[in-house]
Every structure is written in structure tokens, then in C-alpha cells.
Structure 1
Amino acid sequence: MSNPFRCNNSYVGALLTDYYQITMAYAYWKLGKHNDPSVFDLLFRKNPFNGEFTVFAGLGSAMRYLQEFRFSDDDIAYLKSIMLNQRDDLDSAFFDWLKNTTLRDVKVYAVDEGTVSFPYVPLLRVEGPLAICQLLETTLLNLVNFASLVTTNAVRYRLAAGPDKRLLEFGLRRAQGPDGAMAASRYAYLGGFDATSNVKASQVFNIKPSGTHAHSFITSFRSTSDLKSTLLFNKNTNRAENFLEAVLQKKKQLSIRESHEGELAAFVGYAIAWPNSFLALVDTYNTLKSGVPNYVTVALTLIQFGYAPLGVRLDSGDLAYLSKEARTYISTVSQRMNEPKLSQTFIVASNEIDESTLLSFNQQEHEIDAFGIGTNLITCQNQTSLGGIYKLVMINNLPCLKVSQDISKISIPGRKDTYRFFDAQNRPLLDLMCESTQPPPQVGDKIMCRHPFQETMRTFVIPHKIQLLHKLVWDGGLVLDLPHQEHIRSYIQSQITSLRKDHIRFLNPTPYKVSLSERLYHTFHTLWLAESSVSCIQ
């Protein structure tokens, strides 16, 4: 099996970065600051999709990037060519330093991939020489932002659809290029989708492929005379028989008169080609008057030949209504013909489905068994970016922060550990950030938890269980085995199940609490005041 964490794009490397990272690295080096010990946090400030949770993804890809990080001779030559255009007296020794740069002195702490995460809690903590940690910023954000966004989107679709519905990712043709398509297929699967139409993603990530046929297949047939072959092996008689003839007899038996002959021919042809996985697209002409009756005719004949048809796909119109009408028709014919296998027909729906559509379907008590979802999932139309950031929080063993008039953009300083508190029912209560040098919180203690920015918002918590979220994953090299995608997929679902329902509901979800320890709160606010200017009014 292919490595699910490999960098699938040859562009991922040391030069996949913003140019200002290179210019800053030169400035650090020129000023002798490049080896200053530093700590950076990679985090986000707001949950996506108007929700109150985010699922962290992309750690595996980020670690693979670190494993392969280096500046090649070609990279160095290119950097020389562009940097010397800006300054012809550039110190060429910088390029020797860059060529010999490694990550042997870098440490990375991370929450587990698939962790349900919340604003301001670092997803990654990167420690090491200032210039080198700076060079990692853009690529780490690139590998984490989109991955976390798509995974979160997929989880929300799974919540909206319910645990028993199949979710099929159909986004390849609408994705932002092949790179976006491959990444989105992977992370949609981690978030709870069951299969993908993307054959390359199926191969690389070992995801079940899914697909039937398009309208073009239907419209390519005008009549049954277009069928070049009409024979199908009959499992019950153990010989090839004229399948078309049997279908036409079944149609007569069912008294079907309005169905489109070309559509019926297409269904017959597809059934002959794929008798074990026959699923028909039924909305090319008229879903209820032609598509569904034609499907039933061919499906009953397949059953007669010893096969089990799969179902129908609805791709236009009022999908909830059509699913109920199709189910009623199929069930009625199943009872009339005394053929219970027909009643097992699977109904698939597609056509610009999004999260709100799924919730609306539930209110309408639809009869859909599976959803094929493409554009809105793969492109994250409701929100196009997670907005992850990478901030310096400690330099030369001293905490530092970015001050802003927008309070939400002020970074929380220092090297921090984060603990998740659980109640007696093993449900997450809140996340508490503490200075790494302070003793860890203990189960059963009465612990003061402070809102990061609002002084009067504070609470005592007595946790029944405490989980340290950050783990050392990189110490000059990978030090922790990364879990397989099936483990991550299950881990995500178990966490979502453990959250309070009000945190994950669609409308007005309750914010999850992220707090600071008393000690970190005072360090933060003391530094905030010290770094903030004081106005003078005359």
C-alpha cells in the first residue's frame, strides 16, 4: 500500500515558501540572530463554517515535508539569481549556510492528527533556531490549513447526513486543480466519507472507488436497436440468454408504456456490462414516468438472471420528494411481483448538495440512502480558508507577543502546554493552556481557568480526567509513529461522538471554552500592558 503521508506533489519542498521567509532568514543570518532559540505556535483564531469546532489534519504530510526538507543545488542557484538582483553585494556565505541547513536542532510538538481542536490552542509548536523555524512557516500552514478545512467540512456533512448514510465524494472535476483534488479526497475520507470518484486518490490512499454512469451514456442510445450485444449469462440456467428480450417481456408484464426507449436501451446495456453493480441514473428524461420504471424493469430482470441490482441515482429536481416517490413505486412493484430483493434498492442523490441541504432532507423525511457530494465539499464553498497563523511566541527564552487593536489578533505568549479536561461522563469540558514550566494540573484539584482576554470571565474546574494534548513528534527527526488513516478516521468519529451536542449543532452552537492557567494569564497580561503604548492627551 502507498504511504498515506507521502508528499504527493513534487512542489512540496524548501522553496515552496513565501519570498519574505527567505529575505527574513538572510536578515537574521546577517545580524547574527539566526541561531537564537525560538518558539513558534501554529494555530487558528476562529472555527470555520460558523461552527464551534475544527478537526486538525495534515500532520502526516507536514512531517513528511520535514523529513525531506533541504535546499538543493538548483534551489540555491535560483535563490542567488533572484536575490542578487535586489542587492549585488549580498554576502554569498549565506548560501553556504542555507545549503547546509538541516532540521537536526528543531523540535515539533503537535496534537494528534484528527484531534477536534479549538481557537488559540496551538496545533503545532515549533522550537529551534530562529531562522530555520521561520523558513518552515509557509509550508506548514499550507499543509495544515486546507487539510483541516476539508476534514472539518467532511465531518460536518457526516453529522448532517447521519451515521447510517453513505457519503460519496464526487469532487474531482470541480476541485482547484489536481493537487486540491487529491488532498480533498484524502481528507474527506478522514472526515467520514465512504468512497471517492477519484480513481487516483483511490489508488494512492486506498479509498473505495465509487461511480456509475453519466447522462451522456443514456443519451448515446436512441432505441434498443443501438444495442450491439443483448446476451447476458443467466446464473440460474447456467447459460447466456437474450437479456433484452427478457427485459421487454418484463416491461410488458409491468404494463409500462410511457418510458423512454433510448433510456431503457442504455439501462439494458449498462446492466449487461455491469450486472453485479447495476446502478442507474434515472433523471435524464423524466424521473418518475421513465427513469424509475425503466430501472425497475431492468432490475427485476437482473434478479431473474440471478444478480442483485444496486439502485438508482437522482441528480436533479426535488430530491427529497423524488426519493419518496421512487421508494413508494419500487416498494409497490416489489410487493406486486412478490420480489423482496427489489425493495432493497439503494437510492443515491447528487446535485450541488451542501450541509444545509442535508439538514433540510432530514426534515422532509427523505428516502435517500447515499449522497454524492462534489463542489460544496471539495471547494469548501461556505468558507474558502481556515485562516491558520504561525506566530513567534518566545525568543531567547523570553515570551513575546503581537499586539493589536483587534483583541482577537493578539497572540498568547510563551512556551505552552495544553490540557483537555473531562467531566465524569468523559466529555470534554475545556482546554487549559499552561506555561510549560509550571506543574501540570491534577485530577480532582480545584483549578482556576481564566478567559484569555476578559478579566471577569473565570471559573473553577474540578476535572475527572486530564489529557495532555501536545506530543513531541519531531526531535531532529521523526520520533513518533504516525497512525494510519483508518485509525485517524475512527479517532475523529469517536471524538465527535464524545462532544456535547450543543457544541456541534448546526444553528447557534455553544462555544467550547479555551482557558489560560492563572500563571499564564498574568504573564500574558503583564506583557500585553508592557508592550502596549500609552497615549498622551493634551
Structure 2
Amino acid sequence: MTCYPGTLNQELIPRAEDYSLLTDLYQLTMAACYTGEGVEQQRASFELFVRKLPEDFGYLIAMGLAQALEYLEKFRFTSTHIEALRSTGIFAHAPKRFWSLLESGSFSGDVWAVPEGTAVFANQPLLRVEAPLWQAQLVETYLLNTLNYQTLIATRAARMRDVAGERANLLEFGTRRAFSPQGALWAARAALAAGFDATSNVLAALQLGEKPSGTMAHALVMALTATEGSEDQAFAAFQQYFPGATLLIDTYDTIAAAERLALKVNSGKMKLTGVRLDSGDLVTLSKKVRSLLPGVSIVASGDLDEQEILSLKNSGAEIDSYGVGTKLVTGKPVNGVYKLVEINGIPVMKESSGKMTYPGRKQIFRSSVAGKVKTDCLGLADESNLGGLPLLQLFMQAGKRMQPPENLATIRQRTAASVASLPEQTRYLENPISMQMELSEKLHKLTEETKKKPALVSG
């Protein structure tokens, strides 16, 4: 393995100062080519959208904009970055101006986006970048990374909140199953912003101004049972240091543990606020535990997802809180793409089979009746007579933020309102009917005109 000179972080833990290098190589080689051809400063517009929703998803909840804007604010290349790139030898024939561009460059473009927590559908831009071509190109990878993943988690979380109802507590337990430490932080944030009540991820909770939440693991019960004599002593020891803590009661015999706890609660020897069930027939067990401990909150966990939560509810399970991990932070990907739609004022489009894009800078116009979404119209950004509410807002202009960061409570409220505004059939967990989007007359005309423009072929 060749090691290139420089002092770049080798721990493979992303640092904010290195984010400009957190990109695919071809973004840099294309930027170098643009520079050599003298077009690097031409104004370009790229839009980030999803061509097709994941299977059995009727909508998406846009998320990740906050981290995208933070990234763009800090976007720059240091001398260490440039030295490391030079040392690869890949850019030996790149124009000298490419290096000076990186040395002096920072993001100076505009960003239009739908606010986080907004429901969106296929072929609707979540975000548009308008910037010098080299900048708009280089930021593609990071923007897709954060918006694709957080949008997936937010959508799953919103679906779970939708089926669990307002009264149930939803706890994010996915850190150990997330695809990376960074992914775990983003997953916790997206889940909280989309309706979850708490996360067990201590770093994420504290950074977000939230209180972390959790219970205990089977290891504690087994360790203290082995060393102190019984499961009851393990429970008592934990509650000595954490009074009122939720106890995990399925390490050995769930019902036997609940019966012993009930005796202590009923005799006044113990105050118990919650128990957790992590395995077995959750419907039967929860009903039995409720009969034994009627005033105690029951938390269920163990590979839960939105379908399983709905099934538990429909079966009459006595569950107050759901701890969700693996199936929240993993699953079917959101395949967002980032495509050029305009360069130097010229609308462009991709015409590949199955991957066609619409040309020009666009806006989503959403019409609602009695609080319910009626229609969405995709039009050009300069149209103003289409009716409905324009969803994309200006968040950054000339590299400067135009709106203050939003707190999680605001985004959570928007998510709840967005989901509630959707037709019932769009919210189905299986075979949902997604919203049909209309095209404005001007966008349709521009699409047909752009298709007719012949590709230039040199002889």
C-alpha cells in the first residue's frame, strides 16, 4: 500500500477541516478539466432529487440540509490537502490554475432547498445549488451523502411515528447498527427531527441539546446475577444508583421476573417506573406484564420497524414505548441524484433511457385544501402564476446563510404537519399511492424544446 506524504488524519474519522476532500475523485478531475477548458467559473445549477421512491414508500421526508449548509460554509482546501493531492501523481497534467483555484476558493454560490421535515416525492428537487461550475461540481458527493441518508432515516422515523400514534414514546437505539460513527450521529438527529422522543446516542443527544435515554443490557443482569446471587439483586443494584430506571426483564424468565417485581411493588418495597421486553412474543408477554404491573410503563425492543409496530398495535399489545434500532438506521436506500440542469443560462437535460431529467432551474408549487395536499406542480423557478405554495426557499446566497439554523422542535413539528397533510393512501405502509405531480406548461415546453436540440458531433 502506497502512503502519500502529508499530515492528513489517518484515523478515518472525518474532521470538518477535511470535508472538502470527502468527495469522489471524479469531482476533482472534472473540476481540473473545467479549469483547463476555461469554463470553471461559468454559472451552473445542479438539482438534487430522487427519480424513484424506495419500494413501499409513498413519500420522503427531506432531511440533512443543516449539515449540508455547514459543509458549504466551511468548504475550502488547505495547503495540506493540496500537497496530498499533488503527491498522488493523478493531477500531473492538470492546469496550474487548478491549484490556485483550490488555494483561493471557498463556496460562493446560492442554495435553494425545501425546509427539513417537508414531504417530497419523486423528481422533486430537495435542493438546488447555483454556483461557479467547479464549486457546484465538487460539492456533489457530500451533499448526496448527507441528504440521502438523513432523508431515509427521517422518512422511516416519520412512518413509525405515524403508525405508533402521538402518545407512544419512540426511542432511537440504532448507534451500534448504523453504518459508521458519523452515520450514527446523523441517524439520531434525523430520527429526533422526524418525531422520535429520544436517542440512546450520548454524543448526539448532548450535541443537539437533548437528554439521552436508555435502559440496561442483558450483560449487567447476567454479570450481577452471577456475582451477587440473583436477578433480583441485579435489579436492586442498578436501581440503587439509578432510581426509577427501566429494568430489562427478559434475560431469563420474563413472567417470573415480572411476578417477583410485582410483589415488591405491591408491598411498597420498590418503586418501578418501567420495564423493557426485548424478545419473545411481545403481544402475549406485554399483556401478562401489564396485568402484573398495571402502573408500570412497558418498553418493547428487538428488531422493530413500522410494520411490526403496526402489527403489535393491531394485536392489542400493551406497549407504551418502542425502542427501534437496526431497521431504522439501515434498510432500502434513498437513491438521490445530483444533476446539472443549467449552465451559463442554457437549460440542459439528460435523455438516457430511464434516467431522463427535466431541464432548467425548477420550483415545486404545492396546493392544499383544508390542510390536505391536493396537487404538486413542478414548474420553472421564475414562474409565479401557478398557484400553490412554492416549497424551495433561499437558504444561502453568495456563500452566506440567509436563514438561521432551525431547532429540532421546529423541524419535528413541520414533519408531523407534513405527514398529516398527505392523503391516507400515500401514508400506507404497503402499496402506497404516491402523489401525482403535474408539469407546468412552460416546463413541458422547455423539455420538448431541449430534446429537439441536436447534440454536436465533431467530424
TM-score with structure 1 length normalisation? 0.79
CA contact (8 A) 2:85 2:91 kept: no
Q: What is the DSSP-based 3-state SS (H/G/I as helix, E as strand, rest coil) of the residue aligned with 1:520?
A: helix
Q: Which amino acid aligns with 2:98?
A: F
Which residue in 2 is equivalent to 1:471? 393
Which residue in 2 is equivalent to 1:413? 359
Q: Which amino acid aligns with 2:277?
A: L
1:431 matched to 2:373: no
- Pair 1:291–1:482, CA change in 2 (3 A): same
CA contact (8 A) 2:59 2:119 kept: yes
1:181 matched to 2:184: yes
Map 1:266-415 to 2 at 5 A: 266-275=234-243, 277-288=244-255, 290-301=256-267, 304=268, 308-330=271-293, 343-379=294-330, 381=331, 383=332, 385-406=333-354, 409-415=355-361
Structure 1 residue runs of 5 or longer lacking an equivalent are 1-6, 228-260, 331-342, 443-465, 534-538
Offset at residue 9 of structure 1 (A): 4.3
Offset at residue 268 of structure 1 (A): 2.3
* CA–CA separation in structure 2 for the residues paired with 1:282 and 1:152: 31
Q: Which string of whole-angstrom CA distances, capped at 9 and with x for unpartnered residues, describes residues 434-485 of structure 1?
A: 223344324xxxxxxxxxxxxxxxxxxxxxxx21111111111111222111
Q: What is the DSSP-based 3-state SS (H/G/I as helix, E as strand, rest coil) of the residue aligned with 1:429?
A: strand
Offset at residue 374 of structure 1 (A): 1.0
CA contact (8 A) 1:42 1:125 kept: yes
CA contact (8 A) 2:170 2:324 kept: yes
- Pair 1:11–1:207, CA change in 2 (3 A): same
Offset at residue 141 of structure 1 (A): 0.9
Offset at residue 376 of structure 1 (A): 0.9
CA contact (8 A) 1:271 1:298 kept: no
Which residue in 1 is equivalent to 2:416? 493
Map 1:31-180 to 2 at 5 A: 31-82=37-88, 85-86=89-90, 88-104=92-108, 106-180=109-183
Offset at residue 531 of structure 1 (A): 5.2
Q: Which amino acid aligns with 1:414?
A: G
Offset at residue 92 of structure 1 (A): 2.2
- Percent identity of equivalent pairs: 35
Offset at residue 222 of structure 1 (A): 4.2
Q: Which amino acid aligns with 2:25?
A: Y
CA contact (8 A) 2:60 2:151 kept: yes
* CA–CA separation in structure 2 for the residues paired with 1:399 and 1:145: 25
* CA–CA separation in structure 2 for the residues paired with 1:48 and 1:434: 24
Map 1:449-528 to 2 at 5 A: 466-476=388-398, 477-528=400-451
Q: What is the DSSP-based 3-state SS (H/G/I as helix, E as strand, rest coil) of the residue aligned with 1:283?
A: coil
- Count, aligned residues: 443
Deviates more, 1:51-60 or 1:153-162: 153-162
CA contact (8 A) 1:268 1:298 kept: no
Which residue in 1 is equivalent to 2:26? 20
Q: Which string of whole-angstrom CA distances, capped at 9 and with x for unpartnered residues, describes residues 198-248 of structure 1?
A: 11112111223222222222222448xx65xxxxxxxxxxxxxxxxxxxxx
Q: Which string of whole-angstrom CA distances, capped at 9 and with x for unpartnered residues, describes residues 306-362 of structure 1?
A: x742121111110111101111233xxxxxxxxxxxx32101111111222112112
* CA–CA separation in structure 1 for the residues paired with 2:239 and 2:428: 42
* CA–CA separation in structure 2 for the residues paired with 1:373 and 1:78: 41
Q: What is the DSSP-based 3-state SS (H/G/I as helix, E as strand, rest coil) of the residue aligned with 2:21?
A: coil
Offset at residue 404 of structure 1 (A): 1.3
Larger RCO of the pair (alpha carbons < 8 Å, separation 6+): 2
Q: Which amino acid aligns with 1:285?
A: Y
- Pair 1:345–1:395, CA change in 2 (3 A): same
Q: What is the DSSP-based 3-state SS (H/G/I as helix, E as strand, rest coil) of the residue aligned with 1:57?
A: coil
* CA–CA separation in structure 2 for the residues paired with 1:365 and 1:490: 28
- Pair 1:213–1:436, CA change in 2 (3 A): closer
Offset at residue 27 of structure 1 (A): 0.6
Offset at residue 279 of structure 1 (A): 2.1
Structure index of larger Rg: 1
Q: Which amino acid aligns with 2:394?
A: L
CA contact (8 A) 2:32 2:95 kept: no
- Pair 1:154–1:504, CA change in 2 (3 A): same
* CA–CA separation in structure 1 for the residues paired with 2:263 and 2:454: 77
Q: Which amino acid aligns with 1:488?
A: I
- Pair 1:531–1:265, CA change in 2 (3 A): farther
Offset at residue 161 of structure 1 (A): 1.7
- Pair 1:412–1:508, CA change in 2 (3 A): same
Offset at residue 49 of structure 1 (A): 4.8
* CA–CA separation in structure 2 for the residues paired with 1:20 and 1:364: 52
CA contact (8 A) 1:502 1:510 kept: yes
Q: What is the DSSP-based 3-state SS (H/G/I as helix, E as strand, rest coil) of the residue aligned with 1:112?
A: coil
Map 1:188-199 to 2 at 5 A: 188-199=191-202
Q: What is the DSSP-based 3-state SS (H/G/I as helix, E as strand, rest coil) of the residue aligned with 1:206?
A: coil
